[in-house]
Amino acid sequence: MSTKQIERLHKLIDRNLMSINGTLDYDRITQAITLLADTVANTETDEFIWSIGESGHFHLDSLIVGAYWHYSEWHGGQSSPEYAALSSLGGVFSPNMSILEVDSSEYDVYSQLNDLAEAKHNV
pLDDT tens-digit readout, 95-107: 887 889 999 999 9
Angle at 16 between CA 10 and CA 17, to 5 degrees: 85
Q: What is the number of domains present in the chain?
A: 1
Condensed to tens digits (0 to 9), the pLDDT of residues 75-95 reads: 988 999 999 999 999 999 998
How is residue 104 annotated by DSSP?
Answer: S
Residue ranges making up the domain that contains 108: 3-121
Q: Which pLDDT score, from 0 to 100, does residue 16 have?
A: 94
pLDDT computed for residue 17 by the predictor: 93
pLDDT below 50 — which residues of the chain? none
- Specify the pLDDT at position 118: 92
- The closest alpha carbon to 68, from 36, 24, 103, belongs to 36
Q: What is the pLDDT of residue 71?
A: 97
d(CA 45, CA 49): 6
Classify 57 as helix, strand or coil.
coil
Report CA 27 to chain centroid distance, whole Å.
Answer: 12
The DSSP letter of residue 100 is: -
